[in-house]
Amino acid sequence: MVPVLADANKPSSYSKHLEGTNIDLLFQDISQKNQAEIFNKNARLFLEKGKTGLIALKAKSISQKESPKKIFQKEIVELEKEFVVKQIISLEPFEKDHVMVFGEKK
């Protein structure tokens, strides 16, 4: 496991540190408005077709006004640009308005 402690929105800034690394699974747990977009950027750069992606989506980090259901629907559409979404798991009661999305890179 290699944790990346950097600005996830700028994967090109740390890509040189991961050169030659075989990445089988990409995991993201951040609180940003564009969570799915950031995940897709990293997947395009680091994850090969057929590999696994896991992302924790936090509705309230994206919008305080929209319903979590609507937010998750929009984020899933974004994720489907790079992934075949296999499963969406609610993290309640442990984390309110959070889901874990499991997918396979297209």
Is 79 part of any domain? yes
Q: How far is residue 75's CA from residue 28's CA, in Å, rounded to a whole number?
A: 14
Domain extent, residue 91, equals: 23-105
pLDDT at 5 > cutoff 90: no
Q: How far is residue 64's CA from residue 86's CA, in Å, rounded to a whole number?
A: 27
Across the strands, what pairs with 83?
105
Q: How many distinct structural domains can be found in the chain?
A: 1
Task: Report the CATH number at residue 29.
Answer: 3.40.50.150
pLDDT (tens digit, 9 = 90+) per residue, 74-85? Answer: 999 999 999 999
Is 5 part of any domain? no
Q: How far is residue 19's CA from residue 77's CA, in Å, rounded to a whole number?
A: 30
Single pTM value for the model:
0.92
Is 10 part of any domain? no
